[in-house]
């Protein structure tokens, strides 16, 4: 199994201490954390995208550019690129730039996003979100394919003939694209139709609900005839993130008040997890909170149901950065090696169409 750290860059006060860091410090911590997880041996670092609520992730390409210049090996991903509300020309240009800066380390996860308030911000109708996603994804793939292309254009624009987006991606065909899946079969069907990997949110519903969607993905993938590709599956760890301590009791004692204070906030968009207390979250939710063995076992349950190739985790970012790094170190030392040995994958190996390593000589300046 491979491991990703995802930061959707929430910016809110610690519910226990009331402390909140300045925006500049919070954004700097994203880059610092990416460098740290690269040192720890994580496989990828992802930045989210939000345009409503207390988040600082409205410009993920800017953050990923900074991370590209500060790292040399770790893959850079998004979680998710809210393609439904974006101009696909700019997406092709902006992420083509990040792909070049990183030496081909970029992969996208696209979706319609889970925040309904962002659609009126961009002058779009929420009812069109799925059609917009499909149309704009087809356009993005065309822009990253053999150039030039003809494009019908988006709202308020004229058709374009012989269009070429620059810079071109680092490799022909562009970065790999995953499709984020949370509650609908639409993203599942889109991923399967294109022969792309799927990223299950595994967030606020019971595990079985996500399992049903992943089952349909693999079925549709096979029906589409993609015999030359592997239906890779990634999975998140839901609201609450990771907190690893020596024992499960210690983890719940130290992190429980923070978790419960955060999920009690109803003013945060998307904060509708049913797991309102730490015991419920640990027992039945996706949060990876507990002893190393307890976290290993839980990831194993995810894998047993979803067939996960890539496990994404998120930090409780209201805690001091030193505390976040401490749980990352324990996770990397006591959880990651065990899970990797138990659940091998061909993702990002020589057997994967996107290769095992970043080519030599492509370290960002």
The domain spans of the chain are: 2-342
With tokens 């902006």, the residue in question is 94
With tokens 């749980």, the residue in question is 327
Query: DSSP 3-state assignment of 160?
Result: strand
CA distance 321 to 149: 46
C-alpha distances (whole Å) from 262 to each of 84, 239, 244, 279 are 28, 9, 18, 15
169 DSSP assignment:
P
Q: What pLDDT does 238 receive? A: 72
78 DSSP assignment:
E
| Cβ–Cβ < 8 Å for 63, 125 | no
pTM given for the model: 0.95
- What residues contact 106, with CB distance under 8 A and at least 6 apart? 64, 68, 75, 76, 77, 95, 98, 99, 170, 175
Q: What pLDDT does 263 receive? A: 86
| Cβ–Cβ < 8 Å for 176, 197 | yes
CATH number of 2-342: 3.20.20.30
Longest alpha-carbon distance in the chain:
63
Q: Which helix (H) or strand (E) holds 108?
A: strand 106-111
Q: What pLDDT does 60 receive? A: 98
CA distance 274 to 281: 9
Closest alpha carbon to 172 in 136, 137, 141, 146: 146
> Which phi and psi angles does 5 have, rounded to 5°?
-105, 125
CA distance 358 to 236: 24
CA distance 331 to 40: 10
| Cβ–Cβ < 8 Å for 256, 278 | yes
Chain centroid to Cα 350, Å, comes to 23
Q: Give 45's strand partners.
A: 5, 76
> Which phi and psi angles does 60 have, rounded to 5°?
-60, -30
User: Hey, how many other C-beta atoms are within 10 angstroms of the C-beta on 360?
Assistant: 7
Q: Hey, what are 280's tokens?
A: 């419920």
Query: DSSP 3-state assignment of 278?
Result: helix
Q: Which helix (H) or strand (E) holds 317?
A: none
CA distance 69 to 26: 18
Q: Which residues of 253-269 are buried (b: 16+ CB within 10 A; e: fewer)?
A: eebbebbbebbeeeebb
| Cβ–Cβ < 8 Å for 317, 260 | no
Task: Please give the mean pLDDT across all residues of the chain.
Answer: 92
Point out the residues of the chain with pLDDT beneath 70: 155-157, 239-240, 266-271, 356-365
Q: What pLDDT does 147 receive? A: 77
Q: Give 243's strand partners.
A: 289
Q: What pLDDT does 266 receive? A: 63
Q: What pLDDT does 270 receive? A: 57
């Amino acid at each position: 199994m491979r491991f990703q750290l995802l930061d959707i860059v929430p910016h809110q006060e610690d519910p226990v201490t009331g402390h909140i860091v300045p925006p500049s410090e919070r954004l700097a911590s994203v880059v610092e954390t990416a460098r740290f997880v690269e040192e720890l041996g994580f496989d990828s670092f992802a930045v989210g995208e939000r345009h409503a609520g207390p988040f600082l992730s409205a410009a993920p390409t800017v953050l990923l550019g900074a991370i590209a210049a500060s790292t040399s090996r770790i893959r850079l991903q998004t979680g998710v690129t809210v393609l439904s509300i974006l101009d696909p020309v700019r997406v092709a240009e902006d992420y083509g730039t990040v792909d070049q800066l990183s030496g081909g380390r970029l992969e996208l996860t696209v979706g319609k996003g889970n925040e309904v308030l962002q659609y009126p911000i961009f002058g779009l109708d929420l009812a069109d979100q799925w059609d917009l996603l499909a149309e704009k994804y087809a356009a993005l793939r065309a822009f990253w394919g053999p150039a030039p292309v003809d494009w019908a254009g988006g709202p308020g624009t004229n058709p374009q003939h012989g269009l070429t987006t620059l810079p071109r991606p680092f490799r022909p065909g562009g970065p790999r694209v995953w499709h984020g899946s949370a509650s609908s079969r639409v993203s599942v069907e889109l991923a399967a139709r294109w022969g792309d990997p799927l990223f299950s949110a595994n967030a606020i519903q019971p595990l079985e609900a996500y399992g049903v969607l992943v089952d349909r993905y693999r079925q549709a993938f096979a029906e589409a005839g993609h015999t030359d590709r592997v239906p890779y599956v990634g999975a998140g760890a839901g609201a609450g993130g990771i907190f690893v301590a020596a024992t499960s009791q210690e983890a719940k004692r130290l992190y429980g008040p923070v978790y419960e204070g955060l999920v009690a906030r109803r003013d945060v968009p998307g904060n509708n997890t049913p797991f309102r207390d730490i015991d419920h979250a640990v027992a039945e939710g996706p949060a990876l909170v507990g002893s190393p063995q307890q976290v290993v076992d839980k990831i194993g349950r995810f894998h047993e149901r979803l067939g996960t190739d890539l496990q994404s985790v998120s930090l409780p970012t209201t805690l001091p950065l030193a505390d976040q790094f401490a749980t990352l170190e324990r996770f990397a030392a006591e959880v990651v090696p065990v899970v990797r040995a138990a659940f091998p994958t061909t993702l990002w190996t020589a057997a994967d169409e996107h290769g095992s390593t970043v080519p030599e000589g492509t370290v960002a300046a």
